[in-house]
């Protein structure tokens, strides 16, 4: 494991959430007394207000449109349990372990601002959940992304209180049973603590961190695949000339072109050209991929600002003895970031799908066999190579493109018109992960096809020598994915390639 990720007063990056989510780094709470006293002041201030019988939303009132309903002091302690109980109505698939850890990390970071009125004991228990890998089973559906991720986060609050189910050591167990095994008393959530846990953007933000990292790697992988396809298709390397991109200097676009030049060793003497201009999916690859490259900085800003914010309601300002009622649970920035990312990665899938279509078609692949089949002449008529793989990639691309419609424009008035404008950020984040899944499938298909195309090209008399970066990857791929000579079912190899993509198996660009 790497150095611990410290949850406290300093800013976290997407990479910190990823390290915790993938259990590459332990999560630790900031340990100094200044931090602990800041957290404690918030909880003590709430107790002081209760002693004065002050009106605090969600503490001495009902929730949502029920904020006009006063809760007598003798019922205040029971209110948190009712909040996570009636929100126990999530449906759909359960978040996987990595996503659940990201959600816990995002919520813990928000609460460490000391502006949510929770005890230090609650933060310590959340850190212990991450340390011992006690993962609440969270259904992914049921949040509209304002008033926070109420329903999915209710499963976190309930698990901390020893209710519902968790994943522990690979088994689905009751939270109460795991608490007993670990010697932990279940937490009795104090006034405001259930609301603080649930009334925030942790689910959409945790998922957004994972989506960002996958998109960043997909960008680099798509660039490498493009370079391989320039070789396979005998493309014109001058399309990536540095002087050309100086004339239209979008930084991300310039970077992608530089990566391709590096892969192609473009400063070496070029072979005679067969044509002046390649088709757009090759010639314009830096322009397509550059949009994603140039957008990542803005998306990072949106995600990390949300990650490092206090985003529940009300905000507890203990230092100035104020309770601030607002709408920081609204996930609009994450919704925009994830809707944008869906569009960006779908365009990457479309680019790679078009490159694959060129590779298999003898009208456009410049001398390669039909469907990239490596079969000898005696059996060529019964072999079909990558024909079905290209059909599959087309299907995955179509679904990713269909999925690019923004979720954030489908705001629905809910909860007796109290939540009358909502972000849909969690749906957008889930959509983005699905689009990434589909785009990674297209990348796996196109990478294996590019590998086959390069192998076939190297067997021809007019083959160019492989530049060193591509030769190294071609050799590594060949050790796992042998050339396709006689037809074989490729599902297993596609799944292995997909697993390697998701594990960021290849080190691509610095």
With respect to residue 146, please indicate whether it lies within any of the assigned structural domains. yes
Instruction: State how far the Cα of 58 lies from the Cα of 78, in Å rounded to an integer.
Output: 12
Q: Which of 59-68, 306-315, 344-353 has the lowest mean pLDDT?
A: 59-68
Instruction: State how far the Cα of 443 lies from the Cα of 439, in Å rounded to an integer.
Output: 6
Tell whether 113 and 256 lie within a shared domain.
no
Residues 229-234: what's their mean pLDDT?
95
Tell me the pLDDT tens digit for each residue of 332-352: 999 999 999 999 999 999 999
With respect to residue 100, please indicate whether it lies within any of the assigned structural domains. yes
Tell whether 223 and 139 lie within a shared domain.
no
Tell whether 167 and 102 lie within a shared domain.
yes
With respect to residue 368, please indicate whether it lies within any of the assigned structural domains. yes
Average confidence score pLDDT of the chain: 93
Tell whether 162 and 253 lie within a shared domain.
no
pLDDT score of 46? 83
Tell whether 96 and 17 lie within a shared domain.
yes
> Would the pLDDT of 411 be above 90?
no
Tell whether 146 and 215 lie within a shared domain.
no
Tell whether 294 and 422 lie within a shared domain.
yes
> Would the pLDDT of 72 be above 70?
no
Residues 221-226: what's their mean pLDDT?
98
Tell whether 145 and 194 lie within a shared domain.
yes
Q: Please give the residue range of the domain that contains residue 134.
A: 5-200
- CATH code for position 146: 1.10.275.10
pLDDT score of 53? 62
pLDDT score of 60? 61
With respect to residue 101, please indicate whether it lies within any of the assigned structural domains. yes
Instruction: State how far the Cα of 108 lies from the Cα of 103, in Å rounded to an integer.
Output: 9
- CATH code for position 277: 1.20.200.10
Task: Pick the last residue of a domain from 200, 235, 270.
Answer: 200
With respect to residue 508, please indicate whether it lies within any of the assigned structural domains. no
Tell whether 161 and 255 lie within a shared domain.
no
pLDDT band at 310 (very low <50, low <70, confident <90, very high): very high
Choose between 321 and 404: higher pLDDT. Answer: 404
Angle at 9 between CA 4 and CA 15, to 5 degrees: 45
Q: What is the number of residues in the chain?
A: 510
With respect to residue 239, please indicate whether it lies within any of the assigned structural domains. yes
Q: Is 57 a catalytic residue?
A: yes
Tell whether 381 and 471 lie within a shared domain.
yes
Q: Which 3-state string (H, E, C) describes 23-57?
A: CCCCEEECCCHHHHHHHHHHHHHHHHHHHCCCCCC
With respect to residue 509, please indicate whether it lies within any of the assigned structural domains. no
pLDDT score of 424? 92
If one counts the domains in the chain, the total is 2
Instruction: State how far the Cα of 253 lies from the Cα of 256, in Å rounded to an integer.
Output: 5
Tell whether 310 and 338 lie within a shared domain.
yes
Instruction: State how far the Cα of 264 lies from the Cα of 302, in Å rounded to an integer.
Output: 35
pLDDT band at 409 (very low <50, low <70, confident <90, very high): very high
Q: What is the pTM of this model?
A: 0.95
> Would the pLDDT of 1 be above 80?
no
Task: Pick the last residue of a domain from 200, 218, 239.
Answer: 200
With respect to residue 507, please indicate whether it lies within any of the assigned structural domains. no
pLDDT score of 191? 81
Could you give the dihedral angle defined by the CA atoms of residues 413, 416, 417 and 421, in that order, rounded to the nearest 10 degrees? -40
Tell whether 214 and 306 lie within a shared domain.
yes
Q: What is the DSSP letter of 362?
A: T
Phi and psi dihedrals of 27, rounded to 5? -95, 135
Instruction: State how far the Cα of 429 lies from the Cα of 409, in Å rounded to an integer.
Output: 14
Task: Pick the last residue of a domain from 142, 176, 200.
Answer: 200
Catalytic option among 57, 63, 330, 364: 57
Tell me the pLDDT tens digit for each residue of 425-479: 999 999 999 999 999 999 999 999 999 999 999 998 878 789 999 999 999 999 9
């Amino acid at each position: 494991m790497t150095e611990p990720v410290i949850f406290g007063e300093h800013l976290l990056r997407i990479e910190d959430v990823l390290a915790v989510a993938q259990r590459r780094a332990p999560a630790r709470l900031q340990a100094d007394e200044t931090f602990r006293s800041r957290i404690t002041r918030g909880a003590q201030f709430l107790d002081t207000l209760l002693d004065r019988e002050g009106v605090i939303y969600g503490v001495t009132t009902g929730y949502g449109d029920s904020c006009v309903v006063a809760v007598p002091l003798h019922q205040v302690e029971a209110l948190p349990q009712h909040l996570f109980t009636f929100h126990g109505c999530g449906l759909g698939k359960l978040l996987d372990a990595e996503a659940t850890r990201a959600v816990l990390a995002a919520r813990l970071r928000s609460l460490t601002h000391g502006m949510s009125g929770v005890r230090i004991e609650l933060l310590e228990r959340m850190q212990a959940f991450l340390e011992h890998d006690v993962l609440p089973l969270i259904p992914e559906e049921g949040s509209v992304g304002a008033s926070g991720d109420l329903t999915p986060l209710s499963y976190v609050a309930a698990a901390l209180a020893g209710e519902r189910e968790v994943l522990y050591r690979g088994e689905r167990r009751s939270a109460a049973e795991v608490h007993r095994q670990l010697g932990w008393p279940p937490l009795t959530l104090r006034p405001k603590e259930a609301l603080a846990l649930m009334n925030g953007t942790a689910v959409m933000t945790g998922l957004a961190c994972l989506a960002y990292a996958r998109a960043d790697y997909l960008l680099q992988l798509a660039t490498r695949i493009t370079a391989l396809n320039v070789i396979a298709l005998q493309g014109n390397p001058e399309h990536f000339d540095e002087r050309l991109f100086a004339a239209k200097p979008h930084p991300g676009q310039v970077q992608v072109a530089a990566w391709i030049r590096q892969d192609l060793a473009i400063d070496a003497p070029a072979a005679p050209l067969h044509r002046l201009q390649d088709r757009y999916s090759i010639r314009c690859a830096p322009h397509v991929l550059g949009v994603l490259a140039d957008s990542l900085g803005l998306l990072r800003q949106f995600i990390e600002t949300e990650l490092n914010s206090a985003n529940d309601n009300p905000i507890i300002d203990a230092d100035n003895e104020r309770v601030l009622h607002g709408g920081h649970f609204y996930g609009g920035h994450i919704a925009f970031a994830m809707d944008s990312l869906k569009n960006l990665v779908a365009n990457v899938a479309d680019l790679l799908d078009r490159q694959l279509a060129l590779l298999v078609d003898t009208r456009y692949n410049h001398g390669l066999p039909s469907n990239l089949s490596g079969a000898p002449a005696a059996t060529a008529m019964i072999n079909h190579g990558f024909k079905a793989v290209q059909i599959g990639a087309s299907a995955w691309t179509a679904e990713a493109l269909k999925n690019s419609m923004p979720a954030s424009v489908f705001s629905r008035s809910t909860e007796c018109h109290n939540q009358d404008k909502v972000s849909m950020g969690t749906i957008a984040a889930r959509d983005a992960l699905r689009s990434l899944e589909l785009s990674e499938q297209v990348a796996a298909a196109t990478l294996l096809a590019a590998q086959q195309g390069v192998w076939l090209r190297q067997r021809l008399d007019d083959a160019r020598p492989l530049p060193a970066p591509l030769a190294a990857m071609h050799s590594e791929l060949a050790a796992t994915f042998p050339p396709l000579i006689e037809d074989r079912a490729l599902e297993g190899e596609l799944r292995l390639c997909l697993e390697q993509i998701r594990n960021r198996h290849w080190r691509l660009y610095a």
